[in-house]
Chain A
């Protein structure tokens, strides 16, 4: 098809401003409506004036033309003038008769003011926190229930989730923590060598990996990988009424959906953390042996001496706490979603941000707790 050349409106304007007549001819379709609208704006009848639209020679009109005329009609009426269409061609009459005049434009509801929106945010945040605690309590009880009655446990779903959260993450968690171990060792090697204390790279890497970086990096990766997928999956189920269907069929969504995911994440994250600890230490070991030229057995011995059982245990305690939080946050955001596709995306992002925020804050609290209080 050749796009039709830009047509222009055929019109004639007669009479004085108080009683003008605008005669339109030919097809009045949306390609000329912008022009028609400008014309109608320029000759809008003022108070007491009348603009007559002569549509006798109009061959065709579409809804854009009708809209332009209705807009002009409202504008004239508001200004105290009049706009009438007379006479009409058959086509013009039909087009005007097709559409019903809607009510006057409603103003868009004004966005809430600063005070209202601040209050709304605070109340919403508080309510959200209460809902979160409620979900945490429900889910925790559901886990204990499931453990007490193993027959009702969905073992298949648990295995599926464990594979998803655990084994599929082995590669990325191993690689990242290996690189982190390498980096930590490398950075500290430079500083410690100045004091002739290069051998202490072993202590530093081992302790920081096992107590801190292993659990932390694993948790952040799992939050990005699995926390987001929990939130997105449950949110999609919520939006497509699958969650409602489960409720109505007598299967509590917290039990049916939350328990396998929470149990899987609580079991898998500590296991991933052990891998992270090992590979982080391996990274440090390679720097010690390869870059600092320390005998491998000396470096290894130093590493093993540096780690007390409590270091490992405290790291694993942290990782369980991180896992539980990531799972709950993912579930909470998933269940809370309302609306459509765009909300699913937003809620997934929010869940990852909240998870990582939680991980960092909890890590900080644990560090203080383990070193100072205990």
Chain B
């Protein structure tokens, strides 16, 4: 088993002419939960998209589980993709099939396991996210939080060695969110799974993160443990943990300031 689950070196990425990410270096070891932080629009999701191969980097390289996804194709690419799991922000469950079938989909597609074992595996994964009662329901019949958990069960379908989560806690109540964190940590401990999480939830960050990286306008400005970041030299990073707006309120003056002062 490789020691380094994910390694990003000198990544530059964007859409069309627009560069979103620059000079991103990131290393995630096996058995580590790595949190990607940053304000809205700082490129967190773009980084995630690059890692899982949905967006081709402009420059730099990304190595997952010792292999470069962008250099593989065909069966080798598929083989690598079956070793990672992705939890999308809005779940991305297929709407025309039941929750159970959604979870079973990667198992049916990529393994030759007998049907009885697949069914039992589906129930194990659904039990892990406490959704066994929803096995035969359609995604449209579930609440947002339940859909998120079902999507996690699907991401875990093939026991991934590397799991990417885009805002796992968003839209979940604190209790469910905590249980989800608990589950991620348990899987990390038991199987040495590496997890890359994009999140804003401070509570969740404090619970799960082994290491963090903070992106500001596409550039990592802090990389380290929770304490490293809390006492970081960067104002923006410290402000994030203190839940304050960085600096004074910037931008144009208010209407009152403009009009009452007579222009």
Which chain B positions have C-beta within 8 A of A62?
A: 159, 191
- Is A99 positioned at the interface, with any CB of B under 8 Å from its CB? yes
- Cβ contact within 8 Å between A3 and B75: yes
- Is A349 positioned at the interface, with any CB of B under 8 Å from its CB? no
Q: A30-B111, A70-B120 are in contact. Are A100 and B127 (CB under 8 A)?
A: yes
Which chain B positions have C-beta within 8 A of A109?
A: 136
Which chain B positions have C-beta within 8 A of A67?
A: 117-118, 120-121, 123-124
Which chain B positions have C-beta within 8 A of A342?
A: 95-96
Interface residues of A in 1-53 (CB under 8 A from B): 1, 3, 30, 33-34, 37-38
Which chain A positions have C-beta within 8 A of B42?
A: none
A343 to B138, alpha carbons, bound, how many Å?
12
- Cβ contact within 8 Å between B190 and A37: no
- Is A156 positioned at the interface, with any CB of B under 8 Å from its CB? no
A102 to B132, alpha carbons, bound, how many Å?
6
- Is A98 positioned at the interface, with any CB of B under 8 Å from its CB? yes
- Is A338 positioned at the interface, with any CB of B under 8 Å from its CB? yes
Per-residue contact bits, chain B 109-129, to A (CB 8 Å; 1 contact, 0 not): 001111011111101111110
- Is B67 positioned at the interface, with any CB of A under 8 Å from its CB? yes
- Is B57 positioned at the interface, with any CB of A under 8 Å from its CB? no
Tell me the number of A-to-B contacts counted with CB atoms below 8 Å.
Answer: 100
Chain A residue nearest in CB terms to B82: A30
- Cβ contact within 8 Å between A71 and B116: yes
Nearest-neighbour CB distance to chain A for B77, whole angstroms, equals 10
Chain B CB within 10 Å — which of A66, A99, A341, A342 has the most? A99
- Cβ contact within 8 Å between B186 and A98: yes
- Is A80 positioned at the interface, with any CB of B under 8 Å from its CB? no
- Cβ contact within 8 Å between B191 and A98: yes
* B contact residues, total (Cβ < 8 Å): 39
- Is A340 positioned at the interface, with any CB of B under 8 Å from its CB? yes
Q: A1-B79, A342-B96 are in contact. Are A102 and B111 (CB under 8 A)?
A: no
A71 to B124, alpha carbons, bound, how many Å?
11
A38 to B113, alpha carbons, bound, how many Å?
11
Which chain B positions have C-beta within 8 A of A98?
A: 128, 186-187, 190-191
Per-residue contact bits, chain A 329-371, to B (CB 8 Å; 1 contact, 0 not): 0000000001111110000000000000000000000000000
- Cβ contact within 8 Å between B124 and A37: no
- What is the predominant secondary structure among interface residues of chain B facing chain A? helix
- Is A95 positioned at the interface, with any CB of B under 8 Å from its CB? yes
Interface residues of A in 99-114 (CB under 8 A from B): 99-103, 105-106, 108-109
- Is A115 positioned at the interface, with any CB of B under 8 Å from its CB? no
Chain B residue nearest in CB terms to A66: B124
* A contact residues, total (Cβ < 8 Å): 35
Chain A CB within 10 Å — which of B96, B123, B125, B139 has the most? B123
Q: A63-B121, A66-B124, A99-B127 are in contact. Are A339 and B140 (CB under 8 A)?
A: yes
Which chain B positions have C-beta within 8 A of A343?
A: 95, 140
Interface residues of A in 43-81 (CB under 8 A from B): 62-64, 66-68, 70-71, 74
- Is B63 positioned at the interface, with any CB of A under 8 Å from its CB? no
- Cβ contact within 8 Å between A37 and B140: no
Q: A1-B67, A98-B191, A340-B95 are in contact. Are A105 and B113 (CB under 8 A)?
A: no
Nearest-neighbour CB distance to chain B for A59, whole angstroms, equals 12
Which chain A positions have C-beta within 8 A of B136?
A: 106, 108-109
Nearest-neighbour CB distance to chain B for A32, whole angstroms, equals 10
- Cβ contact within 8 Å between A34 and B140: no
Q: A98-B187, A99-B124, A102-B132 are in contact. Are A64 and B139 (CB under 8 A)?
A: no
- Is B206 positioned at the interface, with any CB of A under 8 Å from its CB? no
- Cβ contact within 8 Å between A102 and B124: yes
Which chain A positions have C-beta within 8 A of B95?
A: 339-343
- Is B8 positioned at the interface, with any CB of A under 8 Å from its CB? no
- Is B234 positioned at the interface, with any CB of A under 8 Å from its CB? no
Contact of A70 among B96, B124, B139 (CB under 8 A): B124
Further pairs besides A99-B125, A339-B140: 7, Cβ < 8 Å: A3-B75, A30-B159, A67-B120, A101-B127, A102-B123, A103-B132, A342-B96
Nearest first, the 3 closest Cβ-Cβ pairs linking A and B are A340-B95, A102-B127, A102-B123
Q: Supply 27 A–B pairs (Cβ within 8 Å), ascending by A.
A: A1-B67, A1-B72, A30-B158, A34-B112, A34-B113, A34-B114, A37-B116, A37-B117, A62-B159, A63-B125, A63-B159, A64-B113, A64-B121, A66-B121, A67-B117, A67-B121, A95-B191, A97-B190, A98-B186, A99-B124, A100-B127, A102-B132, A103-B123, A103-B127, A340-B95, A342-B95, A342-B96
